[in-house]
Structure 1
C-alpha cells in the first residue's frame, strides 16, 4: 500500500482495535477514537481511530516500521541511521531522522512525552533514541501473531489438538501478504522479516501436523500438494503430504512424492533425503502399522498427557574451563554483547567458526560460562559427533536434551519432528542457553532450535552455517604473538620462556599461532625440562619434521588439519595444493588461474570457498587482493592425498588423537 489513504476504513485491523476493550461505553469510544493499530503482516497499514493514515514516503515508512517492530522499546538513532542508509549515511542523517520523527508525530497526533491518566499512544524522545509507546502491544498484528503461535504450541503439547489447530489458523489468518510488503528494508528490518517469515512457515507446519493428528488427511492433500510444488526441496512438507496420501489409501502416490523430492534434492543440492524421510519411506514400503492414524477417543483421555518438568537444579552442562586460556578479549566482549546486551531481542543465534585447532570449543566454554546467570532455566551443551566422528542421529540428540530438562525417555515421541516440537514447546517461555558443538549440517540444526525469545543458541562449526536463520557469524582469528607466548609460558613455565623470549616468539610463528599447536609444543617442553626453547625451534624449522613435533601427548595437529582438507572437493583440492606449492607467497587471482589452468572467474569462486573454510587467507593490501595458505595448513596441502608416501615419511607413526 504505497499511498496514504486518509479517511479510508481499516476493516482488517478493527478486530485488533476492539480486542480487550469494554464495549458499549463512552470510554471504549474514546479509546477507539485515539487508538493506533499497525499492520505489518502484509503491506504496511497504519490506522488511527479506525481510519487509515499510512504514510507514502519510502523513508518515513521505514522509520515507522522499525519503531513498530521495537514498540515499547528504545529504537536508537544509530539503528535508524543504519536502517535508512546502511554504510553510507549523509552528513545530515541526524537532522533528517529528527524530521521523520516530527512528521510521524504530526501525522498521528502523538505527544512527545508521557501523558497522565489513561494510557494513550505516544512517540517519546529518549536519550539516544525514540520509543513508540502503545498501551497494548497486540495493537500490532505481528505481536498478536506471535502470541497466538505460542498459545498454539502450548495447546499442541498439552494434546488439545483441535484447539491448537484453531489457534494456528487464527494466527495465519492475520497475514495479508509478505511481512512489510512494499517497504524498503535495511539490515534491521530484513532480520525481522526473516524471523517472522520463518515463524509463519513453522506455524503453518504445526497447523498441518495438528490436522493430521485430527484425521483431516484428505482435506489437506490439496494444500500440501501446492506447498510441495512451491518448495520441492522442503522435506517436512513432503513428509506430511506422504502421510496424508498414505492414510487416504494412496500409498503409490505417497511413494511417488518421495521419489520426486529425492530427485530434486540430488539434482539441485547433491544431497540425499534426511534420515527421518528415508525411514518414513521404508515404513511405507513395509506398510508399517506405525503410520496408521491412532484412534481418537470420544472423550478426553483419562491419563494426563506427558509433560516436561524441569529437573532441579536446572541443567548446567557447560564443560569446565581450561586453566591456561589466554586472550580473546575482543571476541568475548562481542559474544557477550550479542547474547546479553540491551540490543539482544528474540532468539539470539551465534555461529562461532574458525580453522581446526583455533580453539573454538574452548572459547565458547569460556564465553558462555561467564554469562550463565542470564539463562536461569539452564545451559545445554551437546557434542553433535559420536565416538566414531560421525554426526549423531538427530533423535538421539533430542532425547539427550529432553532428558536433561526433565522428560522421561519413554515420553519422547518417535518422530523427530514431534520430538523437536516437544523441545520447542518447553523452551517457548523460558531462558535457556543451548550450545551445539561440532556442527556439520543445518539439516540437524533446524530441529534443535529453542523457540523462546529469552533463549540463545550457539553453534560451533568449522564451516559457516549460512542457512541458520538470523545467525551472527563470529570468526576466531589466530592468537597474537604476545598471547601465543603467554600460552607457551602457561604450559612450559614462565621463567623458561622469559629467558628465551625470541625463541618463544619464533615458536609462535612456526605454529601459526594456533592454540592447539602451541599446547602441543608446551606439553613437549614441559615433559623435557632440560631442553632450551631454541632446540625446539631448530627441530621445527625443518618443514618435513614440523608435524612430528606437533604430534605429542594426544595432540594431533596434522590430523585435525587433514580432516578439513578431506572435506574439500576435487577442484578445491587442486587449487589449494597449487597455492600451497607457492611457498607461502601471496598470489593474485590471475596468477593462481595461470598455475591451475582455470579461468580467473572460476578460480575466484573456489578461492571464496577456501576463504570461507578458513584454509586460505585473503590479503587486502594494495590494489588487488592476494591469497596465501598459512604455514601449517600448507604442509597438509603439500602432503597431497592422505596416506601418500610423503605423508608417511613426514609424519611417521602418529600419536592417537
Structure 2
C-alpha cells in the first residue's frame, strides 16, 4: 500500500502535515505525547515517562492503559489521513519515532551544522545564508500553544539562540549591520537579561552611526541587571560600552574581521587586521582616531521622485563654505524627503560623518525637542561621553568638536530659528540642512528653498512609484485626475498609492471615485500611519490665527484680501493684513499677488471643517461687503442683506455662489 508523506513540525506550534495538508491528531494529551516523541527522534520514550508528562505527580491507576489509547489515537489519525501509522513504533521500552522521520528540527540542526562548517572554512557569506535558512524554520517558540511545557523543548530554543548569535556575528562581519537592528531589538526585548544579544545590538547601532542609542542600550541593560539580579554587566557588555565610548570597533572582539564605518582611515583598516590585544593598544595610543557618525535615515523603499531643480540647487550650495540650506513648505509637501535624499547624495563628500535629528516640530502628540537634548545626542555621537548641562556650554563644546571637521548636519522638522541656532556647527567645511514649515528668514547665512506642491508630471511619477505597478500608465486619465484631486501634494499622492498597493486588483477608477466628493476627500486621504488631516493639524498647533483660517475655509473663495479678512474678523484692515501674513508665514495660505492670498485645495477643505460656530455672521458681513462694493461701483443704493436666523431672512449665506465675481476689498458696514 502506498502512503502519503508525513512531515512533523515542533519549531513553533505542533504541526502534522500529510501530503502537505494539516492533520488534527487528537486532543491535548495526544498532542503532548506526540511532541515528547518528536523531541528525541530515534530515542525510545518509556510508558512511565509518558505517564509523568501527561498526568504529572498524581496519575490515575489506569494511566498505563490510557497511554496505549493515546498512541492508538495518534496512529488512527495518521492512517485516516493517508499516512503510515507505523511512523510511531512500539519498542520494548515504550514508543519512538524513527530517526529518519521528516522533522523541521532535524532539518534546522543540519542547516546549522552546514553553516558552522562553512564558517570554519572561511566561507562567511555561505555560512550566513545556511544559518538564515535554518533559523527560518522556527515559526515561533518550540511547541508553542501546546498548553504545557514538554521536557526537552528548551534544548531547541537554546540551539536557536546560539545559532542566532553565530549568524549575527557573521552578518555583522559581512557589513549587514543595517539589516540587523530591528531583529536584535526584538531579541533583546524577548531576552532582556541576555548580555550577548544586547552587546550585538550595541554593535549594530554603533555601525549604523547611532552611537547615542547604543549607549542607551547599555545603560538600560545595566539598570535591568542591577534591579533584577543585583549584578553589574559582564565583560562582553562592558567591552561593548568601551568600544562605543572610545570609538574602537576592534574592542567588540568579533570572531570575524570587524566592519568599520564608511570613510575609515588607513589606520583603522590596519587595525581591523591585527590581533585584538595589539589593536587595543594601537587604538588607545592614536590621538587622531575620531568618530564618524552616519545617522541619516534610510532611503524611502519606493525611491525618490522629482524635485530635480531643488536637488541641483542644494548640490551647488554644498561647494560653499558652511552652507546652510533651509527648506520650508506646508505640511505634506515632502520637505523631509527632499532633505534626506539630498543629504544621502552628498554624504560621501562629508568624510567626518553625518548627524541627524528629528526636532519633532511637526510630529503629532510629541513636544518639540529642546536644543539641550539634541546637543547631548550630537556630542555623544562625536565621542564626548560627558555632556554639559547648560545649553550655551554644550553648544560651545559642539562648535569646538566640529571646528576642524567636514560634517553634514540634517535638522528635520524645526519649529523656528531659536531651536536651530545652538545646533549649528563651527567648521567652515560643514553643511547644515534644516526643514521647517515656516521660512527661517532670520537664520544668518541661510539659503532658502520654498517647497510647493509637485508639478503634475512629478506627481504622476510619484503615484506610479507608490503603486508599484503599471496601473497609472494603463489608465493615464484616472491617474491625472487623482493627482489633481490631491493638489499635487506628495503626502496625499503617497497615501493614494499606498491604498492602491495594498489592493493590487483595485482599478484606479475606484481610487479616483473615493476622492471626487470634496466633503469626504480628507477621509480618503488616510492610510495606516499617514493622514493629510493630521499633517495639517500640526501646522495649526499654537497658531493664534486659527479662527481666521477656519473662517477662510467657510468662505470657500479662491483668493482672499485684507478687506475680506477684515470683514470676516470684524476688525480693521491693518490687523487683518497682519493676520494673513502670519498665516502665510505658517505656510497655511500662499501669497499669490500683492495683498492677495490663496489656499491649497486640500487645506481649504480642512479649513472648512474648522469653521467656528459664529461663521454665519462673519459670512454675512463679508457678503454684504461684496455687494456694497459692487453697488458703489454702479452708484446704486444697497438694501440691507438679511443674515442667517433673521425673521423672513435666508437660511444660510453662501459666498461660494459669488466665485465668478472677483473679490474686491469690501466696504465696512
Scaled to the shorter chain, the TM-score interval is 0.3 to 0.5
TM norm structure 2: 0.46
Q: Which has the larger radius of gyration?
A: 2
